[in-house]
Structure 1
Amino acid sequence: METPSSRERRTIRCAIYTRKSSEEGLDQEFNSLDAQFEACAAYIASQKAEGWKVVPERYDDGGISGGTLERPGIQRLMADVDAGRVDMIVVYKIDRLTRSLADFSRLIDRLDAANCSFVSVTQAFNTSTSMG
């Protein structure tokens, strides 16, 4: 009989997305994007037993408003989601992903179509579970 410990756990490829709307402070050695990334990476590390693993690619948009999806980082991220290279998007706060409810709805539809989930590490929002 197969036990949970003998089964190979599925790896969940986690992409971290960070955004900062102003360019102020982006030239610092350690900036807001880095802080968001570290918080998300720590959260993913806390889920290691569930198979979560950070993908090597960074998806950052510095100095770009969240009111549009015309951002290079989110475009690359969604292309990788559509291509099946990402299972979970991890953000510091939901508003890092988008500030538009209509765009949020479109993103969720795209994630669902690609069997991809997303989680906000500072808010109780996780689409990978029915309770999330």
Structure 2
Amino acid sequence: MNQKISAEHLCRGAVVYVRQSTMSQVVEHTESQNRQYALAQSARTMGFASVTTIDDDLGRSGSGSIERPGFQKLVASVCAGSVGAVFCLEASRLARNGRDWHHLIDLCALVGTVVVDHDGIYEDTP
């Protein structure tokens, strides 16, 4: 087990957030999707028995003008305290705009959820 991932994180489970901004990316860039879906196995390898994949936002821009039910579901799950870790390809791309990203990161810090991407495991305290 990684030092930044505690037994409490593992008990709460992990969420893999899958997103691509346009339908053409969804159709033409399947490697990105495959890498994102593979994060579920990475979570299991780290010890998470419960892993949920949220992919409701495939083909939806994060510009703010389009609703993103997957992102809303992610935020609600984090706020409910049921998520120990959020897995994504790049933490900085969890949300397309800075306001949503900072809000999510702040919420993760408040409830003790770590964010995991290919560069590391991020934890913060409120």
Flag whether TM exceeds 0.5 (same fold).
yes
Q: Which of 1 and 2 has greater Rg?
A: 1
Alignment check: 8 A CA contact 1:15 1:59 kept: yes
Question: Matched residues in 1 for 2:32 and 2:93: separation?
Answer: 11
Question: Once superposed, what is the RMSD of the aligned Cα atoms?
Answer: 2.7
Query: Is the 2:40–2:53 Cα contact (8 Å) retained in structure 1?
Result: no
CA deviations on 1:33-78 (whole Å, 9 max, x unpaired) are 343111x123223312xxx3342x3211111123338411111111
List, as ranges, runs of 4+ consecutive aligned residues in structure 1 with deviation greater than 4 Å.
none
Matched position secondary structure for 1:89: strand
Q: Give the fraction of aligned pairs with identical amino acids, expressed as a percent.
A: 27
What 5-or-longer segments of structure 2 have no aligned partner?
1-6
**2:69 matched residue in structure 1:** 72
Instruction: Give the number of the structure whose residues are more often helix, by fraction.
Output: 2
Q: CA deviation at 1:24?
A: 2.0
Question: Aligned pair count?
Answer: 114
Q: Where in structure 2 are the equivalents of 1:117-132 lying within 5 Å?
A: 117-120=114-117, 122-124=118-120, 126-128=121-123
Structure 1 residues 106 and 129, CA gap change in structure 2 (3 angstroms): closer
1:129, distance to aligned residue in structure 2 (A) = 7.4
TM-score between the two structures when normalised by the length of structure 2 = 0.72
Distance in 2 (CA, whole Å) between partners of 1:53 and 1:129 is 23
Which whole-Å CA distance do the structure 2 matches of 1:65 and 1:123 have between them?
Answer: 24
Whole-Å separation in 2 of the counterparts to 1:117 and 1:70? 25
What is the aligned partner in structure 2 of residue 110 from structure 1?
107
Give 3-state SS (helix, strand or coil) of 2:24's partner.
coil
Question: Which AA in structure 1 matches 2:59?
Answer: G
Q: Give 1:26 deviation, angstroms.
A: 3.7
Does the 8 A contact of 1:22 with 1:62 survive in 2?
yes
1:36 maps to 36
Aligned to 2:54: 59
The separation in 1 between residues aligned to 2:93 and 2:18, in whole angstroms, is: 6
Displacement of 1:98 in angstroms is 1.5
- One-letter amino acid matched to 1:58: T
Q: Is the 8 A contact 1:25 1:31 kept in 2?
A: no
SS for the counterpart of 1:58 is: strand
